[in-house]
Chains A and B, each alone.
Chain A
């Protein structure tokens, strides 16, 4: 099965995994905490590549799924926070609910503010974990069925997803007594698994995120290598042709849309564990667009490339923000970077690397591929 072309792909993934796992040897906890956030962004890059690169569907509202994952986890961790346990009730009650409660309202999670009962299941931390991944997938499934089922495509999908994330942002900021509005959810507790507490500044938490990213990248890569993955790419190139071959094109688009949403939800969930806050800024349009830039620069046709693009850009941004004079210019720099890649490297860094390697491997690679096929 393994020719030189498939081989170098494998080694790119393996090399990346080894690098991630080795990082704790060279950096301190604060730096690792920061890198862990970028790894979450890397996951987002991969999620964007999956829909944009492989399905040809540009989701401009990927932040919605990230946001859902983040809020679900943050709700569970908020209830584990020390402050929530100090409100004089048997059950934990988030501090901001107290500030927002009507005078005379019972200090109980069930009914302190309108809708606060929605928080009840989140007393069990795993509710947050499960909802963070499953709800985005279900929501994307429903959205996909409607959008793709109506044969809506191209820029219209982008507009719909964009509108949706803005709508949800409006609702979240508006529902102050339920979500703490603009302030978001801060002052969170820690995720606890089998008695182990995931301190955001401990190496264990870094490893949690790193292993999650490695798994997401590996599994996504396998997924697009299945026949279903090939068929998905076929629908991207010509949905009519795929339809006339008997494929239910919307089903394929919806499936991968949902997988991508689940990955974004997972990224949001891990991000909260690492950063200890969830904020409506995750639902801002600029954040969703930034993800698209990461994927474009890294290479939307490559899961790994898009993830690396996200991580690299954020590392550079962190460096730049240490230089006062460059902070202001950063938005312009990133915009320029986007334009330059789109024009000169339409397949991003990964596409560039791929072409280089293919040229180096040259005729030998082609020969080996033929032999594989002949087996």
Chain B
């Protein structure tokens, strides 16, 4: 089976500074891969390269075997890549339900959206996702009025309903309380299997909750790859996190 997401020698050169410097990795169908690395290691930049926000100067990105390198952002999104940014972004003037409706639309052109009703199966799926992210009671509220945690969950819900085959999550628990983090871990665990995930996260307790395999980035390169125990005891990884006594 082809890997859901395949990176081959991906690199970007910011006028001499290589923020991502030849990263190759394969994420299998339905896998949840955690991306670790110190501040400035190039995690966000790597996601920028995959999703088309930044153009790669070298290397290739394959999504479900299809080469999407150099395509524009909305085209890459249509090829099946969904992305959540470090700063949560939802449509603040629309209701929670409308946010999900927009994310759900299968056909992206203006003309095919000059219609009103959702189909039965679409409605059912929308209800399902509302339940999964625990926002049924907020369905008719304006998204701009949600709490920080709720906003993050709504954005996760949008990625679910968008039905992206590959989902990129950049620090999904940043700024969350412990309770909110636990709920987020639960949501992410339910995404596994149906979607392939690449998750950037600093919180090790959270990583232990969700991770199968971990890839460690350091100075734009892959430093190590393996399961949680392997990474936690990896000498070079420990060294890279010098002064932090391993990954805390």
Contacting residue for B108 out of A225, A230, A237, A246, CB 8 A: A246
Tell yes or no: A241 within 8 A of B by CB. yes
Contacting residue for A248 out of B74, B102, B103, B114, CB 8 A: B74
Q: Which residues of B lie under 8 Å from residue A237 when comparing CB positions?
A: 90-94
Q: Which residues of A lie under 8 Å from residue B139 when comparing CB positions?
A: 370, 373
Taken together as a complex, chains A and B put the C-alpha atoms of A18 and B77 apart, in Å, by: 47
Tell yes or no: B86 within 8 A of A by CB. no
Tell yes or no: B227 within 8 A of A by CB. no
Is the pair B103, A245 in contact by a Cβ cutoff of 8 Å? yes
Name A352-374 residues within 8 Å CB distance of B. Answer: 366, 369-370, 373
Tell yes or no: A255 within 8 A of B by CB. yes
Q: Which residues of A lie under 8 Å from residue B232 when comparing CB positions?
A: none
Q: Which residues of B lie under 8 Å from residue A243 when comparing CB positions?
A: 73-74, 77
Is the pair B91, A247 in contact by a Cβ cutoff of 8 Å? no
Tell yes or no: B44 within 8 A of A by CB. no
Taken together as a complex, chains A and B put the C-alpha atoms of A252 and B111 apart, in Å, by: 10
Contacting residue for B158 out of A225, A227, A245, A255, CB 8 A: A245
Tell yes or no: B115 within 8 A of A by CB. yes
| Closest Cβ–Cβ distance, residue A328 to chain B (whole Å) | 40
Contacting residue for B77 out of A231, A245, A255, A373, CB 8 A: A245
Is the pair A238, B77 in contact by a Cβ cutoff of 8 Å? no
Tell yes or no: A110 within 8 A of B by CB. no
Tell yes or no: A249 within 8 A of B by CB. yes
Q: Say whether, besides A230-B101, A240-B89, A247 and B74 are in contact (CB < 8 Å).
A: yes
Taken together as a complex, chains A and B put the C-alpha atoms of A241 and B98 apart, in Å, by: 14
Q: Which residues of B lie under 8 Å from residue A240 when comparing CB positions?
A: 85, 89
Is the pair A228, B90 in contact by a Cβ cutoff of 8 Å? no
Contacting residue for B116 out of A227, A231, A234, A245, CB 8 A: A227
Encode A220-236 as 1/0 by CB contact (under 8 A) with B.
00010111101101101
Q: Which residues of A lie under 8 Å from residue B73 when comparing CB positions?
A: 243-244
Name A77-94 residues within 8 Å CB distance of B. Answer: none
What band does the interface of chain A fall in when counting residues whose beta carbon is under 8 Å from B? 20 to 34
Contacting residue for B90 out of A238, A366, A369, A370, CB 8 A: A238
Tell yes or no: A320 within 8 A of B by CB. no
Is the pair A230, B102 in contact by a Cβ cutoff of 8 Å? yes
Is the pair A227, B94 in contact by a Cβ cutoff of 8 Å? no
Is the pair A242, B110 in contact by a Cβ cutoff of 8 Å? no
Q: Which residues of B lie under 8 Å from residue A241 when comparing CB positions?
A: 89-91, 158
User: B82, B110, B113: which has the most chain A beta carbons within 10 Å?
Assistant: B110
Tell yes or no: A342 within 8 A of B by CB. no
Taken together as a complex, chains A and B put the C-alpha atoms of A245 and B163 apart, in Å, by: 10
Q: Say whether, besides A244-B77, A246-B108, A230 and B94 are in contact (CB < 8 Å).
A: yes
Q: Which residues of A lie under 8 Å from residue B99 when comparing CB positions?
A: 234
Q: Which residues of B lie under 8 Å from residue A231 when comparing CB positions?
A: 102, 105, 113
Name B108-143 residues within 8 Å CB distance of A. Answer: 108-110, 113-116, 139-140
Is the pair B98, A230 in contact by a Cβ cutoff of 8 Å? yes
| Closest Cβ–Cβ distance, residue B61 to chain A (whole Å) | 15
Is the pair A245, B51 in contact by a Cβ cutoff of 8 Å? no
Q: Say whether, besides A241-B89, A244-B73, A246-B74, A234 and B102 are in contact (CB < 8 Å).
A: yes
Is the pair B102, A242 in contact by a Cβ cutoff of 8 Å? yes
Taken together as a complex, chains A and B put the C-alpha atoms of A242 and B102 apart, in Å, by: 8
Is the pair A366, B140 in contact by a Cβ cutoff of 8 Å? yes
Contacting residue for B91 out of A233, A251, A366, CB 8 A: A233
Tell yes or no: B78 within 8 A of A by CB. yes
Is the pair B105, A248 in contact by a Cβ cutoff of 8 Å? no
| Closest Cβ–Cβ distance, residue A65 to chain B (whole Å) | 20
Is the pair B83, A244 in contact by a Cβ cutoff of 8 Å? yes
Encode B172-183 as 1/0 by CB contact (under 8 A) with A.
000000000000
Q: Which residues of A lie under 8 Å from residue B97 when comparing CB positions?
A: 373
Task: Write the chain B residue with the least CB distance to A255.
Answer: B110
Taken together as a complex, chains A and B put the C-alpha atoms of A177 and B73 apart, in Å, by: 49
Taken together as a complex, chains A and B put the C-alpha atoms of A244 and B77 apart, in Å, by: 6
Taken together as a complex, chains A and B put the C-alpha atoms of A85 and B110 apart, in Å, by: 46
Task: Write the chain B residue with the least CB distance to A301.
Answer: B93
Q: Which residues of B lie under 8 Å from residue A249 when comparing CB positions?
A: 74
Is the pair A244, B51 in contact by a Cβ cutoff of 8 Å? yes
| Closest Cβ–Cβ distance, residue A57 to chain B (whole Å) | 14
User: B51, B73, B85, B115: which has the most chain A beta carbons within 10 Å?
Assistant: B73
Is the pair B110, A228 in contact by a Cβ cutoff of 8 Å? yes
Is the pair A238, B158 in contact by a Cβ cutoff of 8 Å? no
Q: Say whether, besides A227-B116, A237-B93, A245 and B162 are in contact (CB < 8 Å).
A: yes
Task: Write the chain A residue with the least CB distance to B88.
Answer: A241
Identify 8 residue pairs between A and B in the complex whose beta-carbon atoms are under 8 Å apart, listed by A's number: A226-B113, A230-B94, A231-B105, A238-B91, A244-B51, A244-B82, A245-B105, A246-B74
The interface of chain B, by Cβ under 8 A from chain A, is 51, 73-74, 77-78, 82-83, 85, 89-94, 97-99, 101-103, 105, 108-110, 113-116, 139-140, 158, 162
Q: Which 8 A-B pairs have the closest CB atoms?
A: A246-B77, A228-B113, A237-B91, A227-B113, A246-B78, A234-B91, A234-B102, A241-B89
* 11 extra interface residue pairs, beta carbon distance < 8 Å, beyond A230-B94, A237-B93, A373-B140: A227-B114, A227-B116, A231-B102, A233-B93, A233-B94, A234-B102, A244-B73, A244-B74, A245-B103, A370-B140, A373-B139
The interface of chain A, by Cβ under 8 A from chain B, is 223, 225-228, 230-231, 233-234, 236-238, 240-249, 251-252, 255, 366, 369-370, 373
